[in-house]
Copies of this chain bind each other. A is one copy, B any other.
Amino acid sequence: MLGIAGDSAAGKTTLTRGIVNVFGAERVTAVCVDDYHRYDREQRKELTITPLNPECNYIGIMEQHLRLLAAGETILKPVYGHSHGTLEAPELIEPRDIVVIEGLLPYHTKAMRHCFDVKVYLDPPEDLRRRWKITRDCTKRNYDEEQVLADLERREPDSEAFIRPQREHADIVVRFHPPGPSLDVDAATLDVRVVLRPVLPHPYLMELAEKTRVRSFEPIRISLARDGGKPADVMEVQGSMPSDVSATVEDIIWEGMGLDGHDLQRDAIGSFQDGEKTRRSESLALTQLLLVAQTASAKDNG
């Protein structure tokens, strides 16, 4: 079971989509734990509680359902209608070969964390995430910009108290970020910094860096670093990497996984929404493939 946690509009759905595509939708069950909201949008307004607050969610049921899914049992999952903020009739979820759990609070309790084979946390810079949230909520969730800004303000204490503390429980922390200080860059060229905690094996990492280096050009760099005071591998990937280099990297990962790279639809990964357009990001593609490799290897060893 793979977890993808992160604050609102941190990129969870985009990241998940490529992973589902690689395995094939018929092999994957993707569940969003934000469906476990206890109150609808109206009730939250009355109670002045944000959906980031565990009190606003059926945490005990979330825990129970993660446990059941991890044990291969079908669940009847609650449904939250994001477009109008209403609680709806529940739906049956049968766990397939691969289960991906994404949402705001999947690592909130110890029992929940124990259900996962691989725990990912999405950690974009706050200013980038805010920009993403404004775009998303205004186009897809019937809010206007002023509302979203007020919402971000209101949510900040809960983000700090409940969302960001989950970062330290993740095995892999993913941070898409602009190469420089400005946010005004082509979204397809964001770099990514991936912190890989030594709790999982990452056998192909050094090979990746080595084989993709062309003289002084190092599109992928691996380094030792401390994260939260503890040693970790850090992989940094240039978003502006040429696509043939990216293809080489993908081949190395597939070989490292012992799988036939020809099975992979190259356009299954790396795609994201940029306004009306669907575009491709090499750093996103590689991140997704890395998570696929981790999930597949956790499954084989599980």
Chain A residues near B (Cβ < 8 Å)? 38, 58, 60-61, 64, 68, 73-76, 78, 86-90, 92
Contacts and interface: CB of A to CB of B under 8 A. Distances in A.
Contacts of A90: 76, 78, 87, 89-90
A105 to B, nearest CB: 16
Number of copies: 2
A89 B41 CA distance: 14
A58 to B, nearest CB: 6
Contacts of A89: 78, 86-90
B64 A68 contact: yes
14 contacts: A60-B74, A61-B74, A61-B75, A61-B92, A64-B68, A64-B75, A76-B90, A78-B89, A78-B90, A86-B89, A87-B90, A89-B89, A89-B90, A90-B90
A58 B88 contact: no
Contacts of A75: 61, 64
A155 B86 CA distance: 34
Contacts of A76: 58, 61, 76, 78, 90
A56 to B, nearest CB: 13
Contacts of A74: 60-61, 64
A17 B94 CA distance: 36
Query: Interface centre among A38, A86, A90, by most B CB within 10 Å?
Result: A90
A109 to B, nearest CB: 14
Nearest to A65: B76
A38 B89 CA distance: 10
Nearest to A60: B74
A73 B68 CA distance: 13
A60 to B, nearest CB: 6
Nearest to A62: B76
A181 B146 CA distance: 74
Contacts of A73: 64
Nearest to A64: B73
Given A58-B92, A60-B74, A89-B89, 10 more contacts: A38-B92, A58-B76, A64-B74, A76-B76, A76-B90, A86-B89, A87-B89, A88-B89, A89-B90, A90-B90
Nearest to A58: B76
Nearest to A78: B90
A91 to B, nearest CB: 10
A59 to B, nearest CB: 11
Contacts of A87: 89-90
Contacts of A88: 89
Contacts of A60: 74
A187 B25 CA distance: 58
Contacts of A58: 76, 92
Contacts of A78: 76, 89-90
